[in-house]
Amino acid sequence: GQQVMQIPQYQHVQEGEDFTTYCNSSTTLSNIQWYKQRPGGHPVFLIQLVKSGEVKKQKRLTFQFGEAKKNSSLHITATQTTDVGTYFCAGPLYNFNKFYFGSGTKLNVKP
């Protein structure tokens, strides 16, 4: 069954509002990656977090990896229409080979 869950499934925001998606794994992840998929496109790598409690920032995007390495979040400050897409978390569970993706959060930004 699904090992990595993501919430919410959908999020509609007004441009300028903040957005957060949460990722939870039933078991410890060795690391976690985040990807963005634009409508009609393919997933594109955003970032990888490795250490427990790690926080990384990319401009308006903030990524966190939980202390227990079982959860993660992506926060976007002051969304823009260019942020539209589906955001996925992904991680290898027991080794570095077999990957599990979250179900994704589809973000829609109204101008």
Partner 1 sequence: EAQVTQNPRYLITVTGKKLTVTCSQNMNHEYMSWYRQDPGLGLRQIYYSMNVEVTDKGDVPEGYKVSRKEKRNFPLILESPSPNQTSLYFCASSFVPSGSSYEQYFGPGTRLTVT
Binding site for partner 1 (CB under 8 A): 2, 4, 6, 9, 30-31, 33, 41-45, 48, 50, 88, 90-92, 96-104
Minimal distance, residue 69 CB to partner 1, in Å: 13
Minimal distance, residue 48 CB to partner 1, in Å: 6
Selection from 47, 50, 77 nearest residue 66 by Cα? 50
Q: Which is nearer to partner 1, 9 or 27 (CB)?
A: 9
Q: DSSP label at 59?
A: T
Q: Which is nearer to partner 1, 16 or 41 (CB)?
A: 41
Distance CA 98, CA 45 (A): 17
Distance CA 98, CA 27 (A): 14
Q: Which is nearer to partner 1, 85 or 91 (CB)?
A: 91
Minimal distance, residue 16 CB to partner 1, in Å: 28
Determine if residue 78 is left, alpha or beta; phi over 0 gives left, psi from -120 to 50 gives alpha, anything else beta. Answer: left
